[in-house]
Each structure stands twice: as C-alpha cells, then as structure tokens.
Chains A and B, each alone.
Chain A
Amino acid sequence: MSMDRRTLLKGLAVAAPAAAAGSAGASEAVKAPDDAVGMLYDATRCIGCRACVTACKKANNLPLEMYDPPDDLNGTTKNIIKIYHEGDTTSYMKAQCMHCLDPACVRACMVGSFKKRDFGIVTWDPNRCIGCRYCQVACPYNIPKFQWDTPVPKIVKCEMCLHLIKGGSQPGCCAACPKEAVIFGKYTDLLADARERIAKHPDRYWPKGDPIIFGDDEGGGTQVLYLAGLDFEKLGLPDLDSEPAGAIAQKVQHGVYQGLIAPVALYAVLGAVMWRNRRADRKEDE
C-alpha cells in the first residue's frame, strides 16, 4: 500500500516537494468504546415468531403493517427476520444495523450525519443529512434505507433504541424476544457469552467444530454479534476482511493529499510555471 501511495502522489503532483514526504503508516484497528453496548443474536435459538419485528416498529413509532408485513428492511422497517432453507435444515436470520466499530457510513457521510455516539451506537442526525445516499453505497451490509416514496425523505436504520437505553431499558427487539435469541448487554459481556456458547456447543454452530462469532473481527468488528448453525454468507452476511474498506479508502485519500500539503504545493507549482511562461512570452513580444 505504501508503495502505491508514494507513486500515486508523484503522479498527481509531479514537481511537488511533498512527493518526498514520508508515508502515513498503517492505520490501527478501531477498538470498541469503553461504554460500548451491543446485541447478540443466536440464530439457533430463534423460532421466527417475529415478535421483535413488531416490537421494533412500536418502539420506534413506525407504521405496523399487520396484513402486508415487509419482507426486508425498508424506509419504515429497521429490523427484520428472514428464513433460509437448505434441504431439511432451516435457519432464521435477523437483519439490522451492525453498529460497526469502524462504520463505513460514518466515514462516508460528508456532513457527519452518521456518527458513533453514546455507547458506540451509530445514529443518524436529520439536521445534517442532505440525502446523498453515499452511506447506502458504502455500507457493506446494505443497512441504511432511504424513503423513496416521499418528497421529504429520511434515512432509516436501527439506532439500537438509544432513546430506550438512555431511560434504562432494553431495545424493543431484545425485550420482546421470548427465546432470548437476541439479547442486549455490554459489548464485552456479549462477546464473552458468545465465546462460552461456542466452547460448550462446538457442533451446534457454524463452522462445526471450530465455530466463529460474526462481528468479532469481520469488517473491523461490529457491536452486534451473530452465532448461527449455517454459513453466514448464506444467511446474508458478506465475507469481509478484518480491515474495513473505509480504512483502505482513507489510506489512499490521505496518501494522495498528505494533509493539504499536496494541493497547496501543486497550486504553487502551477502558478510559478505559468508566471515563468508569461514572462518569457513578454520578452519575446519586445
């Protein structure tokens, strides 16, 4: 990467003195904040009752569609349960915001509408958003949804019921689950709980024998953690590297810009070249 960066810079600012400047060094993985909370969803416990979907709608004042329930997240649905069949085996799957440790939406948003705020929860600020939808392009899980059918749209996604947590209660979905398939807690406690479960039942979880916790380091880690009996990719979670795309993109961007040194240097060089050209022209004219 560091090689790429230096070459890029040379290409962009041929004569800029900044070309000699050192490289920025590898970015460090982002850690969870100290007060981080999270959710642990265990697909092997879920019975697909969708009480959590209804509870989410109630907790967030979203319209309840009793006779035409949504089949995916959308502009009025922040949480959904999907079903996956493979031969005789069936698995349910919960989709919602993962509350990444290093969220792509936060890196994408021009005006800081998306930010990791209290408890590491990623929230959307309607006072800043201009509706450019770069968050949707950036999110590796396709979580933020846009309200396509209104002239005054919002971006909608799970904010872990921050308003309820602040009042001391649990998020709607976790409070409603009859099987504790999704539970709320401190991020570190949930991680320990998940590790305990896979240690106790290594054959219940995927991959059998040596199960993984999705979100432990995928895409840099997430505060919403998943355990399942089937391949996460089949359940709709992408196979991500531990270095988030945002960190890679930022290395390229900062490599090109070197703070503001590269543009300022290029500007000076361009001006100087033209000034010299003009002086030469004037001499010729005389």
Chain B
Amino acid sequence: MAHAKATPVGGPLLTRPYTWLLAFLGVWLLILVWRFTSGIGAVSGLTDGYPWGVWIAFDVVTGTALACGGYAIAILTYILNRGQYHPLVRPAILTSALGYSMAALAIIIDVGRYWGIWKIPLGGFPDMGGYNWNSALLEVALCVMAYVAVLWVELSPAFLEKWKDTSTSEAVQSFARGGLKFFDKALIWIVALGVLLPTMHQSSLGTVMLLAGHKLHPLWNTGWVPLLFLISCVGMGYAVVVWESTISSRAFKRDRHDSMLKSLAGAMVIVLALFTVIRFADVLISGKAAMLFNQGWLSLLFWIEMALFVVPIFMLRGVRNKPFSTLLNASILMMLAGGLYRFDTYIVAYNPGPNWNYFPSLPELLITFGVIALEIALYVFIVKRYPILAGKPAARSAS
C-alpha cells in the first residue's frame, strides 16, 4: 500500500486573507476572555430551558460528523480495500484531526466547570468509581478524547516524513525514521481504532438525546437514533472529502482527482438510501405515520430533512457523465442533510416546555465562528508546510 506522493504546498503563509483570519481570531480571543470572566450567560442565549445551544449542536455534534471524512475514507480504503483512494486519506485525516480537536476545544468553552474536565480522562475523580457507565455522554467523552489522539497519531507520518527529510538535527532525523518504522508495523491496529472509535461515539451521540424523553419530539425520539447518527456521519464524511478536495485544489492549485471523487458517489448513494429507508421504516413501524402530517412545522421540518437526503440520491445517479459541479452540489446537500438532522435532534425538536425559547446570541455565534476560523488557519498552515496533499506542487512552491 504505497502512498501516492504527498508534498507540502509551500509558499508564503501570511497572505492577505490569512492576516484577516488572524485578526478575527484576535477578536475571538477577547470574546473568550469575556466568557471566562463573566460566565456563559453573559455571552450566550443559553438558558435553563435550553442548556445546550450551537456550541454543542454545531461545534461538537455537527462538527465531529463533518470531521468524519477520515473515518469514511478509512472504511473504504482499508476495510473495503480500495487502495485507489489513498491520495484522499491524508487530507481527510487532517480535516478529521482538526475537526475533532476543535470539538474538544468547544467542549472546554461550553462546560461550566471546565477546571474539573481532567476528571473525565483520569478516572472520574475523586474515586475510580466516579464513572457512570450508564451515561451515553461519558462514552462520547472518552471516545472523542481517545479519537483525537488516534487521529494525530494517524497523521503523524506527515510530520515525521518532513522532519526526516529536512531536519538538520541527527537526533530528530533518527526519531523520525524510528517513528515511521513503528507506524508502518502498527498501522493496522491504529487504523482499526480509528474506525472503531467513531463507530462507537457517533452512534452514542444519538443515544445521548434519548434521555431527554418527552422533551424530544417523537419523530426524532426513537431507539434507532444511534444507527441514524452513525449512518449519516459516514455520508457527511464522504461529502466533506469531496468539498474539501474541491476547495483545496482551487486554493492550492492541485489535482482535483475528479474521477476518483466521482467514484465515491456509489458509497454516498448507499448511505443516503440506507438512512432514508430506516428513517421512514422507523416512523411507520412505530405507528407515528400520522405525525408526518399533523405536527405543523415539525412535520414540515421532517420532510425538509428527508428531501435533503433524497435529492442527492438522484443527483448522484450517473454522476460519472455529469459535470463535477453536480457532485459538489450533491455533497453540499448531504452535509446540510446530516447537519439539519443533528440540529433538529439537539435543538429544534427539543422542547423543554412552553416558557422557553432559544436563539444564539451574537457573541455566542462569534465564538463558534472563531472555532471554525482557527480550524481553517491551522489547516492552511499544515498543508503549506507538511506533505498532506497529493498531486503536482504549485509552480511557486519553495520545497
């Protein structure tokens, strides 16, 4: 399984857009100072009725699903043994590593008593019996933490290769060589963890909301929610890979791998169809069919979700002979489909009672935008300096 040659993009880092990005991150830091000195209520629209808002529903629940590109491509490349997708693996792992790291950051911003968060990895202080194994959220927390580590390990060859080739220090070079050798041997078991962990926590992210009971609308409250979350995150993973490849090929003048990306359509259609069938079957079998029409705007919301899942199926049929933009548009719809399904489950279809409502405040949204901005800034830095993207380097490349 030889890797298709990946090379750093090179070029200057501080371009004009990048400077703007850093300036925005400066503002973001100020808002974070505000949040950590005045409390969550000062910067957010969160209330006792809606204790979870965009920080959880977007940055964590949708953000990690959008970071499932590494998971989805790993299933295809390593489990289903389609070696031709290798050039997609590294950029996908990078976006996953960044996406999950940003979700972890968002959790630290969101939890009220963040100074105690070390209790989660370190055994539920003060005693080992502190863990509540019945909590789906504990499973998510432990798995996400472990997966962040696994993703950076999966990505480490990109850094080790660079150090091996360019470092002037003999010690660093031999460390890099040793690391790469170890990685080659352990690859299977690291990648297996990289497939197992998302399977566990992406499904558990759905289970989490079952505990909301009557507060979650019956159309979204179903015992199938773990499977639906799992399937949709795989779909979002493929969609993100298409989207990300398109953007980075445009921005960094690399091959877009058109035919390779188009061949993902088969897997995407399977995922979309599977989700659609299970979602409808569940509603019908559990006797909620009438709710598809008599729940007012929530019924409408269900149909909008389903349309977002179904329309890409038709767009993706025979995509080989269609322009690339069809694949790209279908991918964007897929991301919206999975994202809306998650938002609905966590916020829109969640109703704590008549006296509560939620809309994110401006600083709350800016904090979320800042998390995204930081992810973009790190992505650009890493692909410019380290061998992530495959294909011919841009002409002006320094390396």
Residues on A facing B (Cβ under 8 Å): 1, 4-5, 8, 11-12, 72-74, 104, 106-112, 127-134, 136-138, 140, 142, 145-153, 219, 236, 238-240, 244-246, 248-253, 256, 263, 266-267, 270-271, 273-275, 277-278, 280-281
Q: Which residues of A contact B51 (CB under 8 A)?
A: 133, 136-137, 146
> How many angstroms from the CA of A119 to the CA of B196 in the assembled complex?
42
Q: Looking at the complex, which one of A8, A104, A127, A274 makes contact with B78 (CB distance below 8 Å)?
A: A274
Q: Looking at the complex, which one of A4, A110, A239, A251 makes contact with B224 (CB distance below 8 Å)?
A: A4
Q: Is the Cβ of B199 less than 8 Å from the Cβ of A130?
A: no
Q: Which residues of A contact B200 (CB under 8 A)?
A: 263
14 chain-A/chain-B pairs, Cβ below 8 angstroms? A8-B227, A11-B227, A104-B211, A109-B135, A111-B119, A112-B124, A128-B116, A128-B126, A147-B39, A238-B214, A245-B211, A256-B226, A270-B195, A271-B188
> How many angstroms from the CA of A106 to the CA of B138 in the assembled complex?
12
Q: Is the Cβ of A110 less than 8 Å from the Cβ of B120?
A: yes
Is B1 on the interface with A (CB-CB < 8 A)? yes
> How many angstroms from the CA of A170 to the CA of B124 in the assembled complex?
33
A137-B52, A270-B195 known; A148 vs B46 contact (CB < 8 Å): yes
Q: Is the Cβ of B203 less than 8 Å from the Cβ of A12?
A: yes
Q: Which residues of A contact B37 (CB under 8 A)?
A: 151
A252-B223, A256-B207 known; A112 vs B47 contact (CB < 8 Å): no
Q: Which residues of A contact B191 (CB under 8 A)?
A: 270, 274
Q: Is the Cβ of B129 less than 8 Å from the Cβ of A133?
A: no
Q: Is the Cβ of B116 less than 8 Å from the Cβ of A140?
A: no
Q: Looking at the complex, which one of B1, B119, B192 makes contact with A130 (CB distance below 8 Å)?
A: B119
Q: Is the Cβ of A250 less than 8 Å from the Cβ of B134?
A: yes
A245-B214, A252-B223 known; A128 vs B119 contact (CB < 8 Å): yes
Q: Looking at the complex, which one of A1, A271, A280 makes contact with B189 (CB distance below 8 Å)?
A: A271
Q: Is the Cβ of B141 less than 8 Å from the Cβ of A150?
A: no
> How many angstroms from the CA of A22 to the CA of B188 in the assembled complex?
31
Q: Is the Cβ of A142 less than 8 Å from the Cβ of B203?
A: no
Q: Is the Cβ of B48 less than 8 Å from the Cβ of A281?
A: no
Q: Is the Cβ of A149 less than 8 Å from the Cβ of B42?
A: yes
> How many angstroms from the CA of A108 to the CA of B204 in the assembled complex?
13
A111-B130, A150-B39 known; A263 vs B204 contact (CB < 8 Å): no
Q: Is the Cβ of B210 less than 8 Å from the Cβ of A249?
A: yes
**Min CB–CB distance A223 → chain B (angstroms):** 19
Q: Is the Cβ of A153 less than 8 Å from the Cβ of B113?
A: yes
Q: Which residues of A contact B214 (CB under 8 A)?
A: 140, 238-240, 245
- In residues 153-210 of chain B, which contact A (Cβ within 8 Å)? 188-189, 191-193, 195-196, 199-200, 203-204, 207-210
The residue of chain B having its C-beta at the shortest distance from the C-beta of A144 within the complex is B48
> How many angstroms from the CA of A110 to the CA of B42 in the assembled complex?
26
Q: Is the Cβ of A112 less than 8 Å from the Cβ of B132?
A: yes
**Min CB–CB distance A86 → chain B (angstroms):** 15
Q: Is the Cβ of B223 less than 8 Å from the Cβ of A270?
A: no
Q: Which residues of B contact A238 (CB under 8 A)?
A: 214, 353
Is B303 on the interface with A (CB-CB < 8 A)? no
Residues on B facing A (Cβ under 8 Å): 1, 36-42, 46-49, 51-52, 78-79, 81, 83, 110-114, 116-117, 119-120, 124-126, 129-132, 134-139, 141, 188-189, 191-193, 195-196, 199-200, 203-204, 207-215, 223-227, 230, 350, 352-353, 355
Q: Which residues of A contact B120 (CB under 8 A)?
A: 110-111, 130
The residue of chain A having its C-beta at the shortest distance from the C-beta of B350 within the complex is A137
A110-B132, A252-B210, A267-B193 known; A8 vs B41 contact (CB < 8 Å): no
A133-B52, A270-B192 known; A148 vs B207 contact (CB < 8 Å): no
Q: Is the Cβ of A274 less than 8 Å from the Cβ of B79?
A: yes
**Min CB–CB distance B65 → chain A (angstroms):** 16
Q: Is the Cβ of A245 less than 8 Å from the Cβ of B112?
A: no
Q: Which residues of A contact B134 (CB under 8 A)?
A: 107, 246, 250, 253
Find the residue from B135, B141, B204, B230 having the highest chain A CB count within 10 A: B135
Q: Is the Cβ of B353 less than 8 Å from the Cβ of A142?
A: yes
> How many angstroms from the CA of A275 to the CA of B81 in the assembled complex?
11
> How many angstroms from the CA of A253 to the CA of B111 in the assembled complex?
24
Q: Is the Cβ of B210 less than 8 Å from the Cβ of A110?
A: no
**Min CB–CB distance A7 → chain B (angstroms):** 8
A128-B124, A132-B137 known; A148 vs B40 contact (CB < 8 Å): yes
Q: Is the Cβ of A127 less than 8 Å from the Cβ of B126?
A: yes
Other than the known A111-B131, A134-B135, what 20 A-B pairs have Cβ atoms closer than 8 Å?
A: A12-B226, A12-B227, A73-B48, A108-B137, A110-B120, A110-B131, A110-B137, A128-B126, A129-B113, A131-B116, A133-B52, A137-B52, A151-B36, A153-B113, A238-B353, A249-B136, A263-B200, A270-B191, A270-B195, A277-B81
The residue of chain B having its C-beta at the shortest distance from the C-beta of A135 within the complex is B51
> How many angstroms from the CA of A147 to the CA of B207 in the assembled complex?
27
The residue of chain B having its C-beta at the shortest distance from the C-beta of A254 within the complex is B134
> How many angstroms from the CA of A219 to the CA of B40 in the assembled complex?
31
**Min CB–CB distance B169 → chain A (angstroms):** 33
The residue of chain A having its C-beta at the shortest distance from the C-beta of B35 within the complex is A151
> How many angstroms from the CA of A87 to the CA of B135 in the assembled complex?
45
Q: Is the Cβ of A107 less than 8 Å from the Cβ of B130?
A: no
